[in-house]
Structure formats: structure tokens, C-alpha cells
């Protein structure tokens, strides 16, 4: 199945000055948004109170959220736990609270306050639906959230570096550099969009950012593999021609893969519920950014780094210099 002609000759590299410039601008803007507006960290990172309750009959998440908001609890995050009777309620923490009730509406500073808030939550739900019981509650400190932030950042860095080392061994140094630059671009732009719209950043979003890194490199490896194949089979083609041909021949595959993955994420967003909305939205952003960078950013960087036929020819054990000659 092909959307674009396999033998098309669209001059993508001819736009490289504009596409690289735009990519650099997006990275700068994204860094600015992250440092100025910041990410809207959820309870997983800022700390707060988690309460799990059980209903005597099936209940809608929206009804639980409405009941809490009616009794003054601001921005409660309500999720179902494997069914329609078990609910998880998370309340954001704030500093400088004078009583436990105020803590429940946004802040908690101690386990005692957490106990009081958990009881307030239960009473609010019982006022709307008698028979609700609390199964457990816990207090997450901001120190734990800071540790999660640090571990998540380290994980993302190690993933990107690991991908770079793998591509260095599989292809060549220039491919690894191009991949590292575009991966950093994809992550920064994705985070920049999240910071711009102030979507809540929780553990599911962090997981989707790591998934974006893996998904993005998949497209680039397909293009890189075709570049190596065409360099080895072509006799006198120029690097720019080889890179253009590689993008054109893999374009249908790239678009189809991104399209169907995007459809899956859209279904997850509309049907999966609030628990996976953040994951789906972040993946959708990452799919768009990663697909465009595979087409318009990775190959221009390779050309700028001076990739050539001799760099990709297999090395002969008997005469390495002779094997590298074009």
C-alpha cells in the first residue's frame, strides 16, 4: 500500500535551510516555554493526597468529580480502578495551609492533615451517595515528587544516549549525531507544547515522552537504513540525491505508520478515559513532531555532516582501504 509514488523525486533537501531554521527556532521557543511557563506537574511530582473509595453500585467518574467539586474540593483527579465501583481520588497539595480542610481543597502538609482530608472526602461523597466506604488513603510528599522528576530526566537522557550508541554501531558516527540532535528536538518540542497548553504532567505523560523517543527513532532508522542501502548500490549519485531518494522511497511507510498510530492514540483519548488522556495527547504530539523531523531534519543534518558513500561501504578484512573505495 502506497500513499505517495515510490519513485517520486520531491526535493526535500532543497528546503533544508528553512526546515533546519524552523526546527532550531521551535527548540528555542520550547526551552523558553519550559523555563517561563513551566510544566503543570501533577500530584505524582508535587505531592498531595490519594484516597481510594468503594461504591455500593456502579458509579460514573463524572458524578464523583461533581460531588467533590460541589463540596469545595478544587480540581480533584478521579479515576476508576478496574471497574465502575472502585474509585481513586487525588488532590493537589499546596503550601502554607492552616487547617486540614483547606489542605483537602489544594494542600496538605502532614499525615494528620491527610487523615482529616480523607474523612472530608468520604463525608462529601456520602452526602451524595450513602454507602460509600474508604478503602485506603495516602499522603505523597513533594520530596518523592522531586525524586520522580530526577529519575525521569535521567531515564530520558540514558534512552537518548543509548539510542545514539546503537546507531553509531549499526550505521556510522554521523548517523548517531543526527539521531541525537533530532531526538532532543522531538522531546523539547513535545514538552514545549505541553508547557504551552499547561496540560497536567503526571507519570503517564512522562511514560509517553519516553515512548515518543522510541517511536521517533523508529522512523529515522527506516530512512537511515534506506540511505545506507542506496549509497552502497549507487555508483555515481551525489549525497543530496541519495538522501532525497531515501526520503521519497520511505515516505509512504512513514506516513502510513504515523497515521495508524495516531488513529490508535485518538481512540485511546476519546474512549480510554481520563487515566490515559495525558498519555494519548502526548503521543499524538510526539508522533507529529517525530514524523516531521524524520523527513525534514534528520537527513539535512546528515548532509551537513558530510555523509558519503565511502563511510558506509563494508570493510574488507584483507584490504580495508580497498573496500572503502567508491
Domain of residue 221: give its range.
Answer: 13-41+145-313
* Model pLDDT, residue 99: 41
18 with 95, same domain? no
Contact in structure between 284 and 199 (CB atoms under 8 Å): no
85 with 175, same domain? no
321: in domain = no
Contact in structure between 233 and 249 (CB atoms under 8 Å): no
And the C-alpha cell for 69? 467539586
29 with 55, same domain? no
Contact in structure between 312 and 231 (CB atoms under 8 Å): yes
115 with 152, same domain? no
301 with 227, same domain? yes
Strand ranges (E), the chain? 40-41, 48-54, 77-80, 86-92, 133-140, 200-201
Query: pLDDT tens per residue, the chain (326 residues)?
Result: 556 666 667 888 888 899 999 999 999 999 999 999 888 887 777 777 888 888 888 888 888 888 888 888 877 878 777 677 888 888 875 544 434 344 444 443 456 777 788 888 888 888 888 888 888 877 776 666 677 778 888 888 888 888 888 888 888 888 889 989 999 999 999 999 999 988 888 888 988 998 888 888 888 888 888 888 888 787 777 888 888 888 888 888 888 889 999 999 999 888 877 778 889 999 999 999 999 998 899 989 988 988 776 766 665 544 444 444 44
* Model pLDDT, residue 111: 61
Total tally of structural domains belonging to the chain: 2
125 with 188, same domain? no
34: in domain = yes
Q: Which of 95, 114, 140 is the last residue of a domain?
A: 140
109 with 192, same domain? no
Strand-strand pairing, 77-80 and 133-140:
unpaired
Q: Rounded CA gap, 187 and 190, in Å?
A: 5
180 with 272, same domain? yes
192: in domain = yes
61 with 117, same domain? yes
Q: Which of 117, 140, 163 is the last residue of a domain?
A: 140
261: in domain = yes
83 with 174, same domain? no
319: in domain = no
CATH code of 191's domain = 1.20.1640.10
φ and ψ at 32, to 5 degrees? -60, -45
Q: Which of 105, 140, 175 is the last residue of a domain?
A: 140
* Model pLDDT, residue 314: 60
Residue located via cell numbers 480502578 = 81
25 with 113, same domain? no
3: in domain = no
CATH code of 124's domain = 3.30.70
* Model pLDDT, residue 61: 82
Strand-strand pairing, 200-201 and 40-41:
parallel
196: in domain = yes
322: in domain = no
* Model pLDDT, residue 29: 96
96 with 220, same domain? no
Amino acid at each position: 500500500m502506497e500513499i505517495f509514488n515510490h519513485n517520486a523525486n520531491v526535493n526535500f533537501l532543497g528546503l533544508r535551510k528553512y526546515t533546519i531554521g524552523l526546527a532550531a527556532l521551535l527548540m528555542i521557543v520550547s526551552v523558553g516555554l519550559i523555563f517561563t511557563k513551566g510544566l503543570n506537574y501533577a500530584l505524582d511530582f508535587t505531592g498531595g493526597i490519594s484516597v481510594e473509595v468503594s461504591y455500593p453500585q456502579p458509579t460514573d467518574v463524572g458524578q464523583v468529580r461533581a460531588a467533590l467539586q460541589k463540596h469545595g474540593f478544587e480540581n480533584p483527579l478521579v479515576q476508576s480502578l478496574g471497574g465502575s465501583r472502585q474509585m481513586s481520588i487525588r488532590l493537589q497539595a499546596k503550601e502554607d495551609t492552616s487547617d486540614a480542610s483547606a489542605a483537602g481543597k489544594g494542600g496538605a502538609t502532614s499525615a494528620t492533615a491527610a487523615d482529616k482530608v480523607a474523612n472530608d472526602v468520604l463525608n462529601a461523597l456520602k452526602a451524595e451517595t450513602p454507602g460509600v466506604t474508604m478503602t485506603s488513603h495516602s499522603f505523597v510528599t513533594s520530596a518523592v515528587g522531586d525524586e520522580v522528576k530526577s529519575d525521569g530526566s535521567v531515564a530520558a537522557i540514558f534512552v537518548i544516549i543509548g539510542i545514539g550508541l546503537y546507531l553509531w554501531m549499526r550505521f556510522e558516527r554521523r548517523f548517531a549525531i543526527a539521531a541525537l540532535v533530532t531526538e532532543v528536538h522531538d522531546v523539547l518540542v513535545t514538552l514545549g507544547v505541553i508547557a504551552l497548553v499547561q496540560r497536567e504532567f503526571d507519570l503517564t505523560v512522562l511514560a509517553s515522552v519516553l515512548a515518543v523517543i522510541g517511536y521517533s527513532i523508529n522512523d529515522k532508522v527506516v530512512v537511515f537504513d534506506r540511505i545506507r542501502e542506496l549509497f552502497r548500490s549507487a555508483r555515481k549519485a551525489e549525497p543530496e540525491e541519495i538522501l532525497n531518494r531515501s526520503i521519497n522511497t520511505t515516505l509512504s511507510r512513514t506516513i502510513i505508520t504515523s497515521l495508524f498510530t495516531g488513529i490508535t492514540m485518538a481512540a485511546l483519548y476519546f474512549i480510554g478515559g481520563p487515566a490515559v488522556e495525558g498519555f494519548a495527547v502526548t503521543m499524538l504530539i510526539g508522533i507529529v513532531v517525530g514524523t516531521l523531523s524524520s523527513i525534514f531534519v534528520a537527513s539535512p543534518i546528515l548532509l551537513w555532516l558530510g555523509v558519503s558513500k565511502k563511510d558506509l561501504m563494508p570493510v574488507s578484512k584483507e584490504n580495508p582501504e580497498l573496500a572503502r573505495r567508491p
